[in-house]
Amino acid sequence: MASNQDIDLLLKDKMLSGDLKEIAQKVMDTQRISNEDALVLFEKGSLGFLGTLANHVRESKHGDSTYFNRNFHIEPTNICLYTCSFCSYSRLIKKREEGWEYTMDDIMDIVHKYDDQPVTEVHIVGGVLPQYDVKFYADLFKTIKAHRPELHIKALTPVEYHYIFKKDKVSYEEGMQIMMEAGLDSMPGGGAEIFHPEIRDEIAGGKCSGAQWLRIHEVWHELGGKSNATMLYGHIEKYWHRVDHMDQLRQLQDKTGGFQTFIPLKFRNQDNQMSHLSETTVIEDLRNYAISRIYLDNFDHIKSYWPMIGRDMAQLSLAFGVDDIDGTIDDTTKIYSMAGSEEQAPSMSTEQLVTMIRRVGRKPVERDTLYNVVTDYSDVVFEDDNAYKGYLSLPVV
C-alpha cells in the first residue's frame, strides 16, 4: 500500500500551500507536529492530503495489520445521576422504572453466558448511581476473576472512579490500587468528552473535570496499568478544542506511556438534548481520524469503533490512519444504538471481522486487550468467504 512515494508526490505538488508542505515534510521526517500545525490541518487539510499523511504514519507503525478482539460489554445500569447533554442512553433517577439496574447476580449471569465462548475481554461501563460503590465494583471484579481468571476486565472510567472514590473517601491512588488488587486489568477510554471546561461544563457538567480524568489515568499508569482515551467530537466544540484535548493526551502520554489507543467518537444526535445539532459528515469524520493519527505520534493505535460509525465507515477509516476496529460485541452495548447508530444490534463474528478487514486489502489480526497477538489471520481460509456481506472494494485475498 501507499508510503513515502505518496508524500513525495504531495511535496512536489505546486498547488499545495507552504504550511501544508512543511507539515508533510515533518511527517516524512517523523518529526512531531505542533498544535498550530494541527489547527492548520483541521482548517485547510483536504481529505486526500490528510489521508496520505495518516496512512503513511499508520503503515510505518503497523504495515497492513488491523486489529480486532473478541469481547462483550456489560452495562450495569443506564440510570445516572448526571445529565450529559449528548447522552441518549441514560435515564434520570426520577424515571428509574424506564431503565435497568443490575445486581451482582444479574451481572454474573451475563458473564456466565460467555463461558463456552472464546472471548478475551469484558468491557464494563454504565451510569453512575450510589449503590455502585467501591465495594460493589471491587467485589464484582473479584467474582469475575474467581470465575474466569483469564478474562480481561476493562472497566469503568474516571467518571465512575472519581464519584465512587469521593463518596467512599479514598484517594485516587488508594482507590485505583484497590481496583487493581480486585482484578481490574485496564481502563477504557470513555468519559473524556472534550476536556476544555468551556465545552465540558456545557455538555457534561457535574461529572469529573478534564484534569481529574487525566489524573486518574495518570495514577493508573503509575501503577503499571494501561488504558485508552476517547474524544467526543462534532457537537459544539471548535477545532482548537479538539487540538487542546489531544495536546493534553499527548503530554500525559509523554509522561507515562500508559495509553494504548485513541478512539475518536463521533457525536450521534438521536434522542438527546443536543438533537438539534447536525452530525458531522463522513468527510469530516475521516479527516478527524487522519489528523489524530498524524498528531498523536506517541499513541500506538487509533481505533474506529464500528458499533458507532457502522461497518462501511469502519472499513473506510482503515485508509485514514485507523488500525483497530474493536471487537465482536455480540449486541451487548446500547450506548450507540440508542443515540442513532446504523448498528441497532451490533454483533460481528470473527469471520465477519476478518473478511471485512481483508476486503479493503488489510491484514486481520486478532489481539487481546493489551495488543498481544491472539491469531494472525493472514493464512487462514474460511469456507464461507461471504461472511461479511458489505462493500466489496477488493477481492478477498
Q: Rule CB under 6 A: which residues touch ligand SF4? A: 80, 82-84, 87, 89-90, 127-128, 159, 207
Q: Which residues bind ligand V47 (CB under 6 A)?
A: 86-88, 188-191, 193, 228, 230, 232, 263, 265, 267-268, 272, 305, 326, 335, 339
The helix or strand, by DSSP H or E, that contains position 163, with its residue range, turns out to be: helix 158-167
User: With respect to ligand V47, which residue has the nearer C-beta, 344 or 393?
Assistant: 344
Which candidate, 362, 320, 322, places its Cα nearest to that of 49?
320
Which candidate, 320, 311, 301, 322, places its Cα nearest to that of 355?
311
CB distance 338 to 88 below 8 Å: yes
User: With respect to ligand SF4, which residue has the nearer C-beta, 187 or 357?
Assistant: 187
From the list ligand SF4, ligand V47, none, pick the one residue 393 interacts with, judged by a Cβ distance below 5 to 8 Å according to partner type: none
Strand order across the 259-266 sheet: 71-74, 121-124, 152-155, 186-187, 226-233, 259-266, 301-302
From the list ligand V47, ligand SF4, none, pick the one residue 302 interacts with, judged by a Cβ distance below 5 to 8 Å according to partner type: none
CA-to-CA distance for 251 and 368, rounded, in angstroms?
26
C-alpha cell at 307: 458499533
From the list ligand V47, ligand SF4, none, pick the one residue 188 interacts with, judged by a Cβ distance below 5 to 8 Å according to partner type: ligand V47
User: With respect to ligand SF4, which residue has the nearer C-beta, 87 or 302?
Assistant: 87
From the list ligand V47, ligand SF4, none, pick the one residue 82 interacts with, judged by a Cβ distance below 5 to 8 Å according to partner type: ligand SF4
CB distance 104 to 359 below 8 Å: no
CA-to-CA distance for 239 and 233, rounded, in angstroms?
9
CB of 53 to ligand SF4, least distance (A): 32
CB of 322 to ligand V47, least distance (A): 13
From the list ligand V47, ligand SF4, none, pick the one residue 335 interacts with, judged by a Cβ distance below 5 to 8 Å according to partner type: ligand V47
CB of 334 to ligand V47, least distance (A): 10
For the beta carbon of residue 281, count every other beta carbon within 10 angstroms.
10
**How far is CA 36 from each of CA 25, 252, 309, rounded to the nearest angstrom?**
15, 19, 28
From the list ligand SF4, ligand V47, none, pick the one residue 128 interacts with, judged by a Cβ distance below 5 to 8 Å according to partner type: ligand SF4
CB of 87 to ligand SF4, least distance (A): 3
User: With respect to ligand SF4, which residue has the nearer C-beta, 89 or 388?
Assistant: 89
Residue whose entry in the numeric block shows the C-alpha cell 498523536: 296
User: With respect to ligand SF4, which residue has the nearer C-beta, 123 or 287?
Assistant: 123
CA-to-CA distance for 174 and 283, rounded, in angstroms?
44
User: With respect to ligand SF4, which residue has the nearer C-beta, 62 or 200?
Assistant: 200
User: With respect to ligand SF4, which residue has the nearer C-beta, 123 or 301?
Assistant: 123
From the list ligand SF4, ligand V47, none, pick the one residue 305 interacts with, judged by a Cβ distance below 5 to 8 Å according to partner type: ligand V47
CB distance 225 to 180 below 8 Å: yes
CA-to-CA distance for 141 and 153, rounded, in angstroms?
7
From the list ligand SF4, ligand V47, none, pick the one residue 230 interacts with, judged by a Cβ distance below 5 to 8 Å according to partner type: ligand V47
CA-to-CA distance for 20 and 31, rounded, in angstroms?
14
CB of 128 to ligand SF4, least distance (A): 6
